[in-house]
A and B are shown apart, each in its own frame.
Chain A
Amino acid sequence: MKPRNKRIIFVLIALLGVGGASAMIGKAMKGNMNYLYPPEDVLTGKVPKGQVFRLGGLVKKGSLQRSKTSMEARFVVTDNRGNEITVVTNKILPDLFQEGKSQVSRGKMNDEGLFVAEEVLAKHDSEYMPKELKEVLAKEHSAPANKTTKMGDK
């Protein structure tokens, strides 16, 4: 066998190996790296008590309350399936933070069952359309597509 062909085979085997490694990293990340927990996992006790974690979910419509005397804000994070957790924070809420939209907050549960957030982040989707265009498209496809919603998305 010519040395060049040997090297081609070496490169192909190496590429296969790298592909395999890549697939395994991807798999491991899904299994072990819990970036955020939905309210359901918190309520069923999957998150150890006293641990700092990220809570992901939608801000329940009409749940946002701001204190008149301090920075404190309260809102309810829901998964739209009835699992709800109240978040308390005295941090600035981001520009995109809105009721009915996704958020990711970092903090821990206190003894009263409230989630005390050290940081509240707004999450958005990958739909870049002005309101008018979205309404036009919605009319065209009046039958709502049964889209799988991503956890944390609206």
Chain B
Amino acid sequence: MKINWFKYAAPMNFYSLAGKMIPFFWIAAVVFTAIGLYIGFFKTPDAIDNGMKQYYRIIFVHVAASWMAMWLYGVMVFWALIGVIFNTRISYMLASATSITGTLMTIIALISGAIWGKTSWGTWWDWDPKLTTFLILLFVYIGYIALQSAIEDTRRSDKASALLALVGLAIVPVIYYAVNCPDPNQCASLHQESSLKRIEPNILTAMLVTTLGFWMYSFATILMRTKNIILQRERKTNWVANLPEVIAGGKK
């Protein structure tokens, strides 16, 4: 069976497809996050050998949010570049919708990290390579959103912000390699390395399942936001005027 992908590049078709998908993503988001956190809170050891007590359990939110912050940046750049290449408006709308969820995840990662840092390291913040580069990621996200909303003409704002997103992509690998370089003595930091090798199985399961839940949440919110952007940008078209929800809203 050949699927015509470009069919869903039309905002009208994408709008109805997204509407059908959103409930499933919400259900999956709640189920996976609940299972992940349940395993994380009740099936994992109360203390870790390196001296951390129960407060290490913030890891399930912290790691999931940090991963999402970086992956969603990649998702955002992907859609922005698809937009640049194929000139599909829906791709730009997806990129724009992704940026908000990405920013939110970055903020959650920074705040949960600060709380964890205060309890374990002894400080809310330190200008450590990993923390600093992660803060830059937040600024790049904010820059993208600011640029997009600063230019009124959406065609131009989409293209300009797509290029900014592409340039900002340079920081993402640096976040990872800031603490994971081949010669450990060259990248000394306060933040521990990113490694899943020596980790208790239930802690790992909880982390991965919560992350899956965060992915589903991201999909749900990105699609919801994309639907809103479609309505906003296509408000002068007939199909929007004839949508049941628009007619119902107009009568109020």
Chain A residues with a Cβ under 8 A of chain B: 4, 7-8, 10-11, 14-15, 18-19, 21-23, 25-26, 29-30, 33-36, 38, 56, 92-98, 101, 104, 119-131, 133-134, 148-153
Task: Output the least CB separation between A13 and chain B (Å).
Answer: 11
**Contact: A30 with B121, CB < 8 Å?**
no
Contacts of A23 in B (CB 8 A): 173
Contacts of B128 in A (CB 8 A): 35
Q: A18-B170, A97-B122 are in contact. List 19 more A-B contacts (CB 8 A).
A: A14-B166, A15-B166, A22-B172, A25-B170, A25-B174, A26-B173, A29-B187, A35-B128, A35-B190, A92-B122, A98-B51, A121-B121, A124-B51, A127-B50, A128-B48, A128-B198, A128-B199, A130-B45, A131-B49
Q: Mark B98-133, 1 if CB is under 8 A from A, else 0.
A: 000000000000000000000111110011110000
Task: Output the least CB separation between A38 and chain B (Å).
Answer: 8
**Contact: B187 with A30, CB < 8 Å?**
yes
- Nearest CB to that of B181 among chain A residues? A30
Q: Which of the four size classes fits the interface of chain B?
A: 35 or more
Ranked nearest first, the 5 interchain pairs of A and B with the lowest CB-CB distance are A94-B122, A150-B184, A130-B45, A22-B170, A127-B198
- B contacts with A: majority SS: loop
Task: Output the least CB separation between A82 and chain B (Å).
Answer: 17
**Contact: B120 with A94, CB < 8 Å?**
yes
In the docked arrangement, what's the CA distance between A64 and B72, Å? 45
Contact of B185 among A15, A93, A151 (CB under 8 A): A151
Task: Output the least CB separation between A25 and chain B (Å).
Answer: 5
Stretch at the interface among B23-31, B80-88, B213-221, B231-239: B80-88
Contact of A33 among B45, B129, B172, B185 (CB under 8 A): B129
**Contact: B120 with A122, CB < 8 Å?**
yes
Would you give 22 A-B contacts (Cβ < 8 Å), ordered by A? A4-B86, A7-B84, A11-B81, A11-B85, A19-B173, A21-B170, A22-B169, A29-B178, A35-B190, A94-B122, A96-B121, A101-B51, A124-B51, A124-B52, A127-B50, A128-B48, A128-B203, A129-B48, A129-B200, A133-B45, A133-B200, A152-B188
Among B119, B121, B171, B193, max chain A CB count under 10 A is at: B121
Contact of B198 among A120, A121, A126, A153 (CB under 8 A): A126
Contacts of A95 in B (CB 8 A): 51, 53, 119-120, 122
In the docked arrangement, what's the CA distance between A103 and B53, Å? 18
Contacts of B181 in A (CB 8 A): 26, 30
